[in-house]
């Protein structure tokens, strides 16, 4: 069975084609600048890359180009779309409607449309990708895999906020959490590395990139996570403020005479390590500035980020009553040995001990803890596309 995985953004589309017999990636690629000048598709088969420049006014044309690329006689991998068994779509927000991946029906699409107000930037392009695939490949099953679904297992006391309950019922204001597909994948991989059943483990997963979230996973399910009603809550990120006293928002709006749009942009695009360091939203740039230029603000941003992650790990250790493993994933988590060391320093009470030599790893699965560590520390590259392919396969096989 071959599964096509689609991840649509507002002006981009990522895809991977899997052969599920051995979970091999047959081809993958990226369509950029959809609806803009200079649109391009970068298609990769093995080590070979092919650049296809064309006018791509919408997602339907983007999907058509993807199909053309994977069935091309010269650089394609299929003779026709008849070889594709199903299409799996990443969908950011399923609200409270979905606790797992589902076959997309008209009723499911109606739910996705209702949830646009919860994810106005992400759900519309996700829906456009689904509708484009349905139009071009009408006979193929389409499956929705939700970023929020993994966290639907949280108990009510973990997801409600300290506001009148009527507003939760009326507007669905609650913690939803994100990066669920990533947290689920690395938790499953951690169980394999521990050689123990997932349903018998307590794992703290740290998805650390430009967007960052921490999740407490007990017996294979999410019981708490750092992102909330939106991806703005939680640890400070590349450009997002993370946890903040709400009164600061009102104070700044009054002082700076900002309207809602300006305030929203400020909190999501001008804060985080970018705002604190004044250097960049890219942690690599900030680390270079701190080390090479002795930039105090860059160092402060790194220290503040590590401190925030450590606090969440500590609080989730309390939620879980201990932890069998801490997992680092995503760009920063997989590649920054110094950040992993900084975060884990002082977690001796949990039995966390990092081996400095083992910790010098980048982008590969590794146990970076010492042999006698009570709580293991793993580096596990995330693979959300494979997780989407697996869920799609399970639903359609």
Number of CB atoms found within 10 A of residue 19's CB: 15
The SS3 of residue 164 is coil
* Closest to 178 in 3D by CA, of 205, 142, 139: 205
Q: Is 99 left (phi over 0), alpha (psi -120 to 50) or beta?
A: alpha
Which one from 147, 224, 324, 367 is the annotated catalytic residue? 147
Judge whether 147 counts as a catalytic residue. yes
* Closest to 380 in 3D by CA, of 359, 365, 397: 365
Q: Is the sign of the CA dihedral 164, 169, 170, 176 positive or negative?
A: positive
Q: Are 57 and 81 in contact (CB under 8 A)?
A: no
The helix (run of H) or strand (run of E) holding residue 378 is strand 376-379
In the chain, the N- to C-terminal Cα span, in Å, equals 8
- Calpha distance 281→239 (Å, rounded): 6
Residue listed under structure tokens 């739910």:
111
Give how far Cα 168 sits from Cα of 154, 159, 173, 284, Å. Answer: 15, 10, 5, 39
Overall size of the chain counted in residues:
397
- Calpha distance 167→130 (Å, rounded): 31
* Closest to 240 in 3D by CA, of 205, 204, 276, 207: 276
Give me the active site residues, please.
Answer: 147
């Amino acid at each position: 069975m071959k599964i096509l995985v689609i991840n649509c953004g507002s002006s981009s589309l990522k895809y991977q084609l899997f052969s599920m017999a051995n979970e091999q990636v047959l081809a993958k690629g990226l369509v950029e600048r959809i609806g803009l000048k200079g649109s391009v598709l970068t298609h990769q088969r093995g080590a070979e890359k092919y650049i296809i420049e064309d006018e791509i006014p919408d997602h339907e044309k983007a999907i058509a180009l993807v199909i053309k690329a994977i069935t091309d006689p010269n650089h394609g991998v299929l003779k026709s779309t008849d070889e594709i068994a199903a299409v799996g779509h990443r969908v950011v927000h399923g609200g409270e409607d979905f606790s797992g991946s589902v076959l997309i029906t008209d009723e499911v699409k109606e739910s996705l449309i209702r949830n646009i107000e919860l994810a106005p930037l992400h759900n519309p392009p996700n829906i456009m990708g689904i509708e484009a695939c349905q139009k071009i490949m009408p006979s193929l099953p389409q499956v929705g895999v939700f970023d929020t679904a993994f966290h639907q297992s949280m108990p009510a006391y973990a997801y409600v906020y300290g506001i009148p309950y009527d507003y939760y019922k009326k507007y669905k204001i609650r913690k939803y959490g994100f990066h669920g597909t990533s947290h689920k994948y690395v938790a499953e991989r951690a169980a394999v590395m521990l050689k123990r059943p997932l349903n018998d483990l307590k794992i703290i997963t740290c998805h650390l990139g430009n967007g960052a979230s921490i999740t407490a996973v007990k017996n294979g399910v999410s019981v708490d996570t750092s992102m909330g009603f939106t991806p703005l809550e939680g640890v400070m990120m590349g450009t997002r403020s993370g946890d903040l006293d709400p009164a600061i928002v009102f104070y700044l709006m009054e002082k700076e005479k900002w309207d809602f749009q300006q305030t929203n942009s400020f909190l999501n695009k001008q804060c985080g390590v970018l705002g604190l360091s004044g250097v960049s939203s890219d942690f690599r740039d900030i680390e270079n500035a701190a080390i090479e230029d002795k930039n105090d603000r860059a160092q402060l941003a790194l220290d503040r980020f590590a401190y925030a992650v450590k606090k969440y790990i500590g609080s989730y250790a309390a939620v879980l009553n201990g932890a069998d493993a801490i997992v680092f994933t995503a760009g920063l988590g997989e590649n920054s040995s110094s950040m992993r060391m900084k975060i884990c320093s002082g977690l001796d009470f949990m039995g966390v001990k990092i081996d400095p030599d083992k910790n010098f790893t980048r982008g590969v699965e590794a146990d970076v803890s010492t042999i006698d560590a009570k709580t293991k520390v793993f580096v596990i590259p995330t693979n959300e596309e494979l997780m989407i392919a697996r869920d799609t396969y399970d639903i359609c096989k």
